[in-house]
A and B are shown apart, each in its own frame.
Chain A
């Protein structure tokens, strides 16, 4: 069973800072990591491989430094990685990104299953996984919390807001996973050494035979007009002083607002 996992390199922070002038993410001083949900997808792929055999291939689209994210997955134990990188991809929205990844997947070929994290923690769109399925014209199942493969079928438990739903779909398919599906494994020493020596294969726009109409900024039907941090929800007030003062102060405020 051959599995392709799509990952994204994201800033290692829960507080993404935006440069108000350029409308882009501030990356300086913020280390990069593999998108956490994508690590769950890699773990799910490795578990399926342990059970059914086959091969796990990880791909990412990004600048050359995204190869570090690929190396992290080599250290976890994946078999093969590809960096999908070209200046022509710059400025891609989710349409262009999912197109580019689907072209790379076609080029790599020979897959039974494609796994993605449910969304990236920076953009939070959750659109690329489903987009890939559409471009490849294969079934998609999102928010998987349980995943079993039998023969040519996948049985997936989807985590929805109120209930969980169990669905079955034929393979190949794109399945996106939530973090509750597993706990990603630690890197191993042998894996880290393999990653250190690994040469990262790169596929560019020509290699994937991409149509320029669907790639990069020009191939993106959506454009970012403005990025801003929404104002935080009603900032709390910190009370300081001796504990007894704080308590008096707090009670006065509660009375003032007629809560108590």
Chain B
């Protein structure tokens, strides 16, 4: 593995996240995958270990607002279980809009409890007819006096039902198009806000994925994030900042599959010797490890760039998410190949890893959307050079 020159504190974060994940998530991951039970037990342990506030400033109860440190922990957790990894990361996604656009009052009200892991957050953007085309949103927030009346349904919301704090994007003025959306903070338990069914998914099965249903839900104007009309800016800035986290999940899942493949190849004897001595297997493992390391270097690189204060990192963040998630998909499938028939069986964890990996190519912007972003960036950059 490349030496990333981690500080003592970063080594501590990585090792602690690994320890907690191994002790709390590893023994349960197969069962949680089977039943879809929400991993509260693991989340409670991360909270007690102070790992929930790595991306939150210290004055808001966090450990110092670092995308890189957050990625380190997310990777280690995802290495053991992708479902637990996304549950951990989705709370950061859900609360990042508050960090970026919240008033001091809003930050003080919500962030300390999220930093302490006492409450989870969730981000509500996607709808049935608005996935990659976020402009197709149909959920509306109509202003009436001091309140907004929200109607509509958000779909496939990670941590839905389990989170206490939701950030929501809704249309406040249809006529204004892209400037007609606004962002809000909604608390669980607000009258008119309920949850739809829990989805039965291919992978990351222990994570909660549900509809958020709003029926004449009254939200006080103090819950507006930023200004009216800034909804899409809130969403895009948030997704830019959390994209390396998806990359870290993907790197973690891929590393987990590589770990399993190496372990198995050393134990499995065919033709009278462990299969890791066979060049055919070594070459698969060599490609896997090279790809995982390249993905990690890209994710760490962009995370450090953001922490160093870079303003324009959209293209790099997209590249990291794209490459890491494609790598996770490829490497987990390769791991199944190394394990052969055993890899295809649920007794071994690699088939789950492949199912978990698939979503990283889809959520928080499909990899096709990432390519669009990167392409757009290339055009912008070349235009500047003229």
Contact = CB atoms under 8 A, between A and B. Distances in A.
Interface of A: 185-193, 196
A189 B8 contact: no
Nearest to B9: A193
B48 interface: yes
Contacts, number: 29
A191 B48 CA distance: 10
B48 A188 contact: yes
Nearest to B46: A186
B81 interface: no
Contact of A186 (B8, B13, B19, B63): B19
A187 B8 contact: no
A191 B20 CA distance: 15
B9 A188 contact: no
24 contacts: A185-B48, A186-B16, A186-B19, A186-B20, A186-B23, A186-B45, A186-B48, A187-B16, A188-B48, A188-B49, A188-B50, A189-B12, A189-B13, A189-B16, A189-B50, A189-B51, A189-B63, A190-B50, A191-B50, A192-B12, A193-B9, A193-B12, A196-B8, A196-B12
Contacts of B49: 186-189
B381 to A, nearest CB: 39
A93 to B, nearest CB: 35
Nearest to B19: A186
Nearest to B73: A189
Interface in B6-28: 8-9, 12-13, 16, 19-20, 23
A192 B16 contact: yes
A244 to B, nearest CB: 18
Contacts of A186: 16, 19-20, 23, 45, 48-49
Nearest to A183: B23
Nearest to A196: B8
Nearest to B17: A189
Interface string B37-59: 00000000100111100000000
A191 B49 CA distance: 9
Nearest to B52: A189
B69 to A, nearest CB: 10
A29 B79 CA distance: 28
B175 to A, nearest CB: 49
Contacts of A188: 48-50
Contacts of B19: 186
A50 to B, nearest CB: 12
A185 B48 CA distance: 8
Contacts of A185: 48
A193 B49 CA distance: 12
Contacts of A191: 50
A59 to B, nearest CB: 25
Contacts of A193: 9, 12
Nearest to A191: B50
Contacts of B12: 189, 192-193, 196
Listed from nearest, the 8 A-B pairs whose CB atoms lie closest are A189-B50, A188-B50, A190-B50, A188-B49, A192-B12, A186-B49, A186-B20, A189-B16
Contacts of B13: 189
Contacts of B16: 186-187, 189, 192
B155 to A, nearest CB: 35
A186 B50 CA distance: 10
Contacts of B51: 189
A252 to B, nearest CB: 26
A31 B9 CA distance: 21
A193 B15 CA distance: 13
A192 B20 CA distance: 14
A186 B9 CA distance: 17
A196 B11 CA distance: 13
Contacts of A192: 12, 16
Contacts of B23: 186
